[in-house]
Amino acid sequence: MATITFLGAGSVVFTRQLVVDLLRFEDLPTLDLVLHDIDPDRLDVARGTALNVARQLGRDLRVRAEPERRAALDGADFAVNMVQVGGIDATRVDLEVPAKHGLRQTIGDTTGVGGVFRGLRTFPVLSGIADDMRAVCPDAWLLNYTNPMAMNVWWLAEVAPELKAVGLCHSVYWTVHDLCELVGVPLEGTHYRAGGVNHQAWLTEWSRDGADLYPLLRRRIAEDPGLERRVRVEIFSRIGFYPTETSEHSAEYLGWFLRSDAQVERFRLRPLEYLQISEDNVAEYEQARTVLAAGGDLPLHDADDAAEYAPQVIHSMLTGTPRVIHANVVNHGLIDNLPQGAVVEVPADVDADGLRPQRFGSVPTAGAALNRSYLSVAELTVAAARTGDPRLVRQAVLADPNASSTLTPDRIWALCDALTAAHARYLPRALGGTLDQP
């Protein structure tokens, strides 16, 4: 018997996907699934979703909805965190307020000014989760999906280094999946390995039957000039290795793309894109609630699309099935040319003995240079929350390549003041209020 707790289970579309993937493992024992969310309506829909999936798949599943977080975590073997502090309203603030100050973002959840403020309002919740886990499930694995991934896992390492916490993201898998599709090679049977930071790892190995597949990709790009208008293809052409995560995400991690109207048009970018994605997620939730209320069945994704790591990690640890995934963990000798103590993304072995990150060595030098800028933003954000120094918040945004390519320091200061005021209810008190210009 194993108990799995979903924190932020009101993200019912993601909850559905994780439950489907778990229950399709026929060799898993009957699971106890505990769902937690602070929104009672969403929690009720999440419970109905899990039961509906179990019935459709003909699997036994013990489901409990628990509005109290510590009670939800009591006795858990695995805690899956997908909490989004502030929900869609906070996401609107993260994107619309910078836009009013002249700063373009596409997604705003990983690094940069959107990632900084998402991290700052998430850290207090992570600290509370860590306190609860110490008290009622100290041996559980904390599987984090919440962005900003690197910042959140870094914060957990600061406040609760004794917990078994790992960050999970499907970006490496889907990058390889899509590249294989692009060059006409089946994904099955390929070998791949990536290292770097979350959403900006570098695909250093990609082969099939011992043959490097990068020449096929270069040939495919040369045959189709339209591909050169993709952000990731541009990064690949300059750095020499393909970056993980979509072009929409990748565009805002560097200072190359969103700095001018001409670049936005050239690379076919859509600033504020995540606003529509968020609205679509809300619409999906409403649709799921309507279907369940009418006694209908929710649509289930195909087994071929089961790419999420949390179900795979749980399956491997419970059954002993060995797997290799890519995981976000603290850099303790894993990547030589990135800061030790930072959070990096590397391959990891998973089985009944747990999760063990693989030593990666060095990432490509030019890629490491870009990773270090990303990690500087994360380091300053974590330091700001740890010390309560609001100046470090502004310095984190100053270090962001996208923000510094567009805004002057005084405008970055003003933007941070505006976001601090807008998010005041979620931020640590010491970081609230405006800060005088130097």
Q: Give the tens place of pLDDT for each residue, 3-25.
A: 999 999 998 889 999 999 999 99
Close Cβ partners of 331 (under 8 Å, ≥ 6 residues apart) = 338, 339, 340, 341, 342, 343, 344
Largest separation between any pair of C-alpha atoms in the chain:
64
Q: Which domains does the chain have, with CATH numbers?
A: 2-167+295-316 (3.90.1820.10)
**Full-model pTM:** 0.97
What is the per-residue pLDDT for 12? 82
Interior CA angle at 153 toward 249 and 316, to 5°? 95
pLDDT per residue as tens digits for the range 86-114:
999 999 999 999 999 999 999 999 999 99
Are the beta carbons of 317 and 354 closer than 8 angstroms? Answer: yes
Strand 164-168 relative to strand 31-36, pairing: unpaired
Let me know if 170 is a catalytic residue.
yes
* Positive/negative CA dihedral, 106, 109, 110, 111: positive
By CB atoms closer than 10 A (0-12, 13-18, 19+), residue 44 is middle
Q: Are 138 and 76 in contact (CB under 8 A)?
A: no
Of 96, 110, 119, nearest to 415 (Cα)?
96
State the Cα–Cα distance between residues 300 and 193, nearest whole angstrom. Answer: 30
**Could you give phi then psi for residue 145, rounded to 5 degrees?**
-110, -15
What pLDDT, on a 0 to 100 scale, did the predictor assign at position 268?
97
Q: What whole-number distance in Å separates Cα of residue 292 and Cα of residue 332?
A: 46
Q: Roughly how many angstroms between the first and final C-alpha of the chain, as a whole number?
A: 58
Predicted pLDDT at 225: 92
Which residue among the candidates 36, 101, 170, 177 is catalytic per the annotation? 170
| 222, 366, 401, 407 from 203: Cα distances, Å | 20, 13, 22, 32
Q: pLDDT tens track of the chain, all 438 residues?
A: 899 999 999 988 899 999 999 999 999 999 999 999 999 999 999 999 999 999 999 999 999 999 999 999 999 999 999 999 999 999 999 999 999 999 999 999 999 999 999 999 999 999 999 999 999 999 999 999 999 999 999 999 999 999 999 999 999 999 999 999 999 999 999 999 999 999 999 999 999 999 999 999 999 999 999 999 999 999 999 999 999 999 999 999 999 999 999 999 999 999 999 999 999 999 999 999 999 999 999 999 987 777 899 999 999 999 999 999 999 999 999 999 999 999 999 999 999 999 999 999 999 999 999 999 999 999 999 999 999 999 999 999 999 999 999 999 999 999 999 999 999 999 988 897 666 777
Question: Are 63 and 354 within 8 A, CB to CB?
Answer: no
d(CA 415, CA 148): 19
Which residue stretches of 298-408 are H helix?
A: 309-319, 365-387, 390-398, 401-406
